[in-house]
Amino acid sequence: MNKQIEEQGLNLLKKGQKGLFHVVFSRVGLMVVLLVLQFMILFAGFAWFKEALPHIYGGSTIFAVAMVLYVLNRNHDPSAKITWLVIIMALPVFGGLFYIYTQSDLGHRVLKKRMGEIIDWTEGSIPQGDEAIDKLKTVNYGAASLAEYIHRVGKFPTYENTEVTYFPSGEDKFEELLVQLRNAKNFIFLEYFIIDEGYMWGNVLEILAEKVKEGVDVRVIYDGTCEFSTLPHDYPKRLGKLGIKCKAFAPITPFASTHYNYRDHRKIAVIDGDIAFTGGINLADEYINRIEKRGHWKDTAIMLKGEAVKSFTLMFLQAWNIDEKKIEFETFMNYNPAPVKSAGGFVVPYGDCPLDDDKVGERVYMDILNRAQKYVHIMTPYLILDGEMETAIRFAAERGVDVSIILPAIPDKKVAYSLAKTHYKGMLESGVKIYEYTPGFIHAKVFVSDDREAVVGTINLDYRSLYHHFECAAYMYGTKCINQIESDFRKTAAVCRRVTHETIKHEKKSLKLLGFVMKGFAPLM
């Protein structure tokens, strides 16, 4: 990295002071405030309003009953309903007010309205040609039905003529990403959940700064939660000094943001409309094992070359234009990728938006499980499931499908780790095979089935990915890389420990207790 870029660019990444302001006035801060407020009210009732206690209890009971009836009649996942009912019945004032707060979408109403408008406005940007979907029907009608569902709810077409390269590690993806960035001639779009200073982002930033000088249009989106952990709040202005257009997606508004909702968990890179990357890998050093966090970091990604890149271009532009007065689509959507005639197979990139009732990520996974005949092999960092997803996994195993799941042995979040283990016993009883990656942490999001279809993307098996976040992935049928994905799964499983009923017995009691207690709050995790 040359000295000029290091001084001009990397110094822009120095982290600003986050302070207590964001923490105190965040969702956690509001929970604490409401809880303290409830105890203060109760204490005041005992101390100063002894004669009014029956009225206080009566009012609290009426409020709790009203909230319970309201929640029961809302269109929530059954597991989420149970969680809210427990919270409201246990702490009527706190639980009821917290429910109202989270459902109000304070701080995100404009985002929700604007994103809905943009999706509606652009839904016809990439029409579905009949040829590809008709060919897929002749190969596998079930897969074609899934592709038609994805197109119906998100307007994402099915493509042929797209070459897919699978990367079994962050290091492999990073190396190829640098090559493709250096080859950029027209535009570079980067949309990542996490960007952090260090070797990985520093090398990317160096290339971006050079490309701007060559006249390449460079745009970067990162999720607003980076302001909590990795980037200062004025980071877009700092990158702007290098000529790079940059935005934080849904910046967190202190106190008014239910900030765990509507995070941009996508990882997308688009170069010239010809090349696209997606997968689990963020732009931070742990993803390429440049630094060690929780042992060896196992992650995956794919690179698309050809017609299917258009869908990732569209996803980026939808996010970029949320706060733009003049919407830019035609210029970049008119870049037609060169088709790769010898690629073989079908590719369906898709996004999952939390603003509608179509849980695309979950339904794609469930469809693969329901149609599988031989095996479904899964890599995921988290296992926090609703009843429908758990039933689909267990039922596939019960009808004789080899359902195997690789999870981390070294967790990044203790609560999430404990909640995953609450599913182990039931899944083992149904015949699901569970492995834990002993070298470290699994961050990959992979489904592969029957040597014929696979999904690689950003979608975890937890409530946040399946319900609350903007996500993306690519569904593949018959592409050449599917055998590589399955081979990578088997190699990874070979260095894992197998979970059994015996190993479950020897789990730490503190971990079991944590999972037992937090189970009721899983939809909020």
Burial of 2 from C-beta contacts in 10 A (0-12 / 13-18 / 19+): exposed
pLDDT digit string (tens) for 300-312?
A: 999 999 999 999 9
Q: Which long-range contacts (CB under 8 A, 24 or more apart) does 94-103 make?
A: 94/31, 94/34, 94/35, 94/37, 94/38, 95/64, 95/67, 96/63, 96/64, 96/67, 97/34, 98/30, 98/31, 98/34, 99/67, 99/71, 101/30, 101/34, 101/258, 102/27, 102/258, 102/261
- Does the pLDDT value for residue 25 go beyond 50? no
Average pLDDT over residues 346-353: 96
Token pair belonging to 461: 């098996």
Where in the chain are the domains? Answer: 21-104, 109-346, 360-524
CA distance 200 to 180: 15
For tokens 């604007």, what's the residue?
114
H/E stretch holding 187 reads strand 187-192
Least confident of 7-16, 162-171, 478-487: 7-16
Residue 17 confidence (pLDDT): 38
pLDDT digit string (tens) for 498-512?
A: 999 999 999 999 999
CA distance 53 to 56: 5
Task: Say if 109-346 and 360-524 have the same CATH topology.
Answer: yes
pLDDT digit string (tens) for 469-478?
A: 999 999 999 9
Q: What is the CATH number of domain 360-524?
A: 3.30.870.10
- Does the pLDDT value for residue 8 go beyond 80? no
Give how far Cα 518 sits from Cα of 9, 39, 389, 413, 419, Å. 43, 22, 19, 13, 7
Residue 521 confidence (pLDDT): 74
- Does the pLDDT value for residue 20 go beyond 70? no
- Does the pLDDT value for residue 517 go beyond 80? yes
Q: What is the CATH number of domain 109-346?
A: 3.30.870.10
pTM over 0.75: yes
Residue 9 confidence (pLDDT): 43
Task: Tell me how far the alpha carbon of residue 75 is from its chain's centroid.
Answer: 22
